Amino acid sequence: MAAIDVGSNTVHLLVAAAPEGVHPRPLFRRRAFVQLGLDVAATGSVGPERLELAGRALAAQVQEARRHGARLIAVGATQALRSASNGEEVAEELARRAGVDRLHILSPELEAQLAFDGATLGVTPRAECMVLDIGGASTQVARGPAGGLCRDRSIKVGSGTLLAAVDGDPPTGAEWRGMERLVASRVPRDLDPATGHLVLGTGGTITNLPRLLGKAKGASLRLREVELLLELFRVGPATDLARRSGVDLERVRLCRGGAVILAQLMDLLQLRSVRASERGLRDGMILALLRREEGWWRAEEHLVEVAVGAGG
Amino acid sequence: MPRSIWSRWRWELVAEPLSATELARLTLADRADQLRWSAARLPLAADLEAVPDCRLALRRLREVWMALGDQLEPHSTAPQRRLRQLSAELRPLERAEARIRLLLDLLGPLGAPGGLGAPAWRGREPEALRSLLESARLEEATLREQILSRRLISELEAAATLGAVVDRDRDATEAVQLARVRLPLLFEAASRSGRPLEPSRRRRIQRLLHGLELFSPALARQHQVVLSELASLLAQLGPLREWRELVDWVDRAAKQGPADLRPALRRIVVRAELETEAAQESAEIELSRLDQGGWWRTAALACLPERRRSSRSPDG
């Protein structure tokens, strides 16, 4: 089985084996930086050049998934296409170019639930969890029992949104303030603290931030470490960090905005640390494929099914 | 102690034109008294207006020297320089006090929700604000100890007796003649506008206010309206400068503060920036109303009385 998410920053493929009775096991991953979110942030729609780029990346990933034996492929898009004025047309065109039946634009609720399902895979069932998913154009804060229905707060700011808001590298003082301001204006004022929750972070930003500090990908992060990273971003260009850490320059630039969001969320939710989870949205899509096959994307049915499962 | 000896009734009584020497004599004594009184209040830490009042007294006394220097002894710029130096010595303390006032405004009563209509505090914002307030108070106390020495108080008292009026009873220069030279320059400077609003404009408008206050007894009655318009304008521009300074100060604190408090400190910077923008917007609206309506020119004409007709005039 394979899942591809067309995000605001990347088009990302996961091929997983799904032996009966055990959790799906990742076999192959592929990522392409397409940054649809940059076009949407600048013009409100996806331009032809970015469409071309995304079309080629998606077609290549679909081929790779088939080459790896994927029988079912789930393709979903997130905030960039949700908010683009031509999102539906782009989704149809991308599906046509990639040779798949359909590219589904996921609702924020379904995206959060899938990321929650994926991130909490392997956690003791019903343990209270919170999942932070910092995407390119949106951030999801979902909480609920592992394996059950989550309550989600979708925040319309992501690492790509902040990348589009700055020119300088390192950003100027005014640009830093602009980023902080954007985050402060988008984060809802009534986020409850995450007391008693197992807190997991998912998405490229959170999983890669530890690498910039020389830690293993997916390691835990404390607030003071996130602040240390912000200090590094403040004093030097992203290229220095990319060279030192071996992380792609595009990812490092995205991590800058992601760290701004993460620091604010950690303070507002009163988190001491966040454990980065390598699993996330695509793993949730694989789980949904396992449960519902072609109907994996049917949000209402999916949520009702999870709710019933959680209730039982 | 009355703030000014020029109460309204005087307008009705002054029949003869006021000479520059007489104006100098009366204003110098009045303003020197103000400086002495405000200097005496400086050691009272609870008197939050003492430092701003003292700086105001220094500026108003300096204005006497700038506008009526020919009527005063010694004939040098040394007294002006001295008054300026003393004002500069007090400036850091005035700023530190303003910071505390603004932080208290932001914090609200005991950090309860709703300071300046702000929504409830979140995360570690109350802790961060209290830490800022503590730093601001510590800074203010240190500055108070450093700046408000016995030496400074006695120098301020000495500055109140820096000069004397030259006794030239035959000097026929009318105060209004000097006003006609000085005030148009001050009006012109105050009316110069730029986008965005420059911090120097507040100073130029303040100088005009002080100039008008000084020449008040020699001006047309309508100048009182101009004075009150300028005072209300400055009341809007003053907090703007204070908010700008607070933003920079909290921004520095956010970079240097404990890592755990930094996200909250950065949100406080954002909130202080929003307050600054609101203050700037309201000041710009008010200023553009005056600028676009040609108010400065009209106000200058309204303040300066018409020249009396010469006795040699053919119409006379």
User: Closest approach of chain A CAs to the CA of B219, in angstroms?
Assistant: 47
CB contact under 8 A, A263 and B263: yes
Cβ atoms A67, A40 nearer than 8 A: no
CA angle A253/A259/A262 to nearest 5° reads 145
How far lies A198's CA from each of A258, A279, B158, B159, in Å? 20, 15, 69, 68
Quick check: A177 contacting B, CB < 8 Å?
yes
Q: What is the ipTM of this complex?
A: 0.75
pLDDT at B4: 47
Residues of A within 8 A of B119 (CB-CB) are: 189
Nearest to A180 among B123, B255, B270 (CB): B270
Cβ atoms B268, B250 nearer than 8 A: yes
pLDDT at A56: 95
A302 pLDDT higher than 60: no
Sheet holding A139-145, edge to edge: A151-155, A139-145, A128-134, A198-202, A273-276, A220-222
**Exposure class string for B70-81: b at 16+ Cβ within 10 A, else e:** ebbeeeeeebbe
Mean pLDDT of A225-238: 93
pLDDT at B6: 45
Residues of B within 8 A of A259 (CB-CB) are: none
Quick check: B266 contacting A, CB < 8 Å?
yes
pLDDT at B66: 92
User: Closest approach of chain B CAs to the CA of A272, in angstroms?
Assistant: 9
Quick check: B273 contacting A, CB < 8 Å?
yes
Residues of B within 8 A of A269 (CB-CB) are: 123
Query: How far apart are alpha carbons B100 and B117 in whole angstroms?
Result: 18
HEC states along B165-210? ECCCCCCCCEHHHHHHHHHHHHHHHHHCCCCCCCHHHHHHHHHHHH
Residue whose C-alpha is closest to residue A278's, from A96, A99, A14: A14
Q: Would you say the C-alpha torsion B62, B66, B72, B76 has a positive or negative sign? A: positive
Mean pLDDT of A89-111: 92
Nearest to A267 among B123, B270, B273 (CB): B123
pLDDT tens-digit profile of B289-314? 888 888 999 999 888 866 654 444 33
Quick check: A213 contacting B, CB < 8 Å?
no
pLDDT tens-digit profile of B200-247? 889 999 999 999 999 998 888 888 999 999 999 998 888 888 888 899
pLDDT at A165: 87
Residue whose C-alpha is closest to residue A120's, from A307, A288, A281: A281
Cβ atoms A160, A254 nearer than 8 A: yes
Judged by average pLDDT, the poorest of A184-198, A272-286, A298-312, B214-228 is A298-312
CB contact under 8 A, B267 and A264: yes
Q: Residue type at B258?
A: P
pLDDT tens-digit profile of B7-31? 444 444 444 678 888 899 889 999 9
Give percent of chain B with pLDDT exceeding 70. 85
CB contact under 8 A, A223 and B269: no
CA angle A266/A269/A270 to nearest 5° reads 75
pLDDT band at A299; cut points 50, 70, 90: low
User: Closest approach of chain B CAs to the CA of A141, in angstroms?
Assistant: 16
pLDDT at B14: 47
Average pLDDT, chain A: 88
Quick check: B263 contacting A, CB < 8 Å?
yes
A297 pLDDT higher than 90: no
Residue of B nearest to A190 (CA): B122
